[in-house]
Amino acid sequence: MSRESRRAIVVRWLKFNFVGALGIGVQLTVLAALKSGFHLHYLWATAMAVETAVVHNFLWHERFTWNDRGLENGALLRFLKFNGTNGALSIVGNLALMKLFAGVLHIPYLAANGMAIAICSLANFLVSDRLVFEDRAPSGT
């Protein structure tokens, strides 16, 4: 792998994490509002908060993280792929880890959710990079 390719991956990883940090803010805000404000069960609140963050993150990734990949067409299909991969991984991963951390280990639900997000992050990046936002730009050859 060339130095330029490694640099591009690092820049994309940093962009991904920037968007992810914004998404964490969205997710934790929605989780707190649903759990504390509307008194929903923490697992229902987690699922809804994750889906809100998934939509938020897709919009940012589409326009910022992977904006160099010739993605002019097919946004709906990419959204469905993103929701079906990252969304599913995030929801299933978050629910399972929240059940473990908050339900079994009695870690406070916001801290438990932060831990769950961190664990799911790398898998989400790889799925996004290789499947959802696969390179459609001309190779230049």
Q: Is residue 53 predicted with pLDDT exceeding 60?
A: yes
Query: What digits encode the pLDDT tens for the residues 60-118?
Result: 999 999 988 877 788 899 999 999 999 899 889 989 999 999 999 999 998 998 898 88
CB hemisphere CA count around 43 (13 angstroms)? 11
The structure's pTM equals 0.79
In this structure, what are the phi and psi dihedrals at residue 105, rounded to the nearest 5 degrees? -90, -10
Please list, in sequence order, all residues whose beta carbon lies within 8 angstroms of the beta carbon of residue 117, skipping any fewer than 6 positions away: 20, 24, 27, 90, 94
pLDDT at 141: 47
DSSP state of 125: H
pLDDT at 76: 92
pLDDT at 12: 95
